[in-house]
Amino acid sequence: MNPLRDVVDVSVHLYRRGLVSGIGGNVSARVDDRVFITPTMVPLDQVTLKNVAMVDLEGNVLRGEGPSSELELHLEVYRRRPDVNGVVHTHSPYARAFSVAGIEIEKMEGFRGLGHGKIPVVPYYPPGSRELAAACADSMVNENATVLENHGVVCAGETVKEALLLAEFIEELAKTRFIAEVLKFMK
């Protein structure tokens, strides 16, 4: 397991799968008291071993240029969830569309630990704000995923690759729910 390599691989994978575009989204992995996180203003398909930032849990940059503008969001999740070592933030089109429409996503079986009910939604706060970071971390104290209103999805896991799998599952879940709703009108 190489958390630095995993951040790069997951970042490129998210971009290629269309779960982020442009300079949107960010990925991090925690190792003890260090966090590897994608750099700011760099599309995820251009993340490399050389440009990933490394910070401590207080946000002090130990390596690289500037970390993602959502650094505080990642750090808040890590501070409140010692069991989490990977965080993925996407701008998944279907899941994001549900939040823009004000519709919560009903959970489905198929992913360990997702549970039942609806995926929690964090009210809108400006991207990169302390308010968003705190609200997201509050939402994820007992959840591994949350939807950020009009913004995207944040997933956590024991590893960054586990967080990626959850992010992909949630986008597929949202897509399935959308298709099911459209099909209801065809009856």
SS (H, E, C) the chain: CCHHHHHHHHHHHHHHCCCCCCCCCEEEEEECCEEEECECCCCHHHCCCCCCEEEECCCCEEECCCECCCHHHHHHHHHHCCCCCEEEEECCHHHHHHHHHCCCCECCCCCCCCCCCECCEECCCCCCCHHHHHHHHHHCCCCCEEEECCCEEEEEECCHHHHHHHHHHHHHHHHHHHHHHHHHCCC
In Å, what is the CA distance from 106 to each residue of 19, 139, 162, 174?
A: 19, 16, 21, 8
Catalytic residues: 70
| 171, 153 Cβ separation under 8 angstroms | yes
